[in-house]
Amino acid sequence: MYTLISILIVAVCVFLTLIVLVQNSKGGGLAANFSASNQIMGVRKTADFLEKATWTLAGSLVVLCMLAAFILPSSEATEGKSIVDSKIEDLADPATVPSFPITVPTTPPAEDPSE
C-alpha cells in the first residue's frame, strides 16, 4: 500500500509541476495561445481551470503525504528503540566479545643494540 501511495505522490508532483509551468503569472500562459474569438474555453476559463487544477493537485499532494506518513512501514521488533540501537545490540553480544588483558606488562622493552 505504501508503494502505491508513493507512486501516486510522484505522479501528482509531476502533474503539479506541468500545470504550474503552463501558467503565466501575468494571465497569459496556455490561455495566450488561444486568442481566437470562437474558442469553447476562453482565456478566463482556461486560467480558472488551471488554477482549480493547481489547488486540487496541491491539496491531494498534502493528503497523500499525510496518508503515507500514517501507513509508513515500521519495525515492530524494536519496541520503541531506535533502529540503530537495535542493530548495535544484535551486532555485539556481550557474551561473545573477546576479553583483553587489563594488566600492563612489567618488563621493559629490549633496547636496540645498533644504537
More confident residue, 80 or 43: 80
Model confidence at 9: pLDDT above 90 = yes
Q: How far apart are the C-alpha atoms of 70 and 62, rounded to whole Å?
A: 13
Residues 2-30, mean pLDDT to the nearest whole number: 84
Q: What is the pLDDT of residue 7?
A: 94
Q: What is the pLDDT of residue 60?
A: 96
Model confidence at 61: pLDDT above 50 = yes
Q: What is the pLDDT of residues 66-102, one digit of tens each?
A: 999 888 866 554 456 677 777 777 675 666 666 676 7
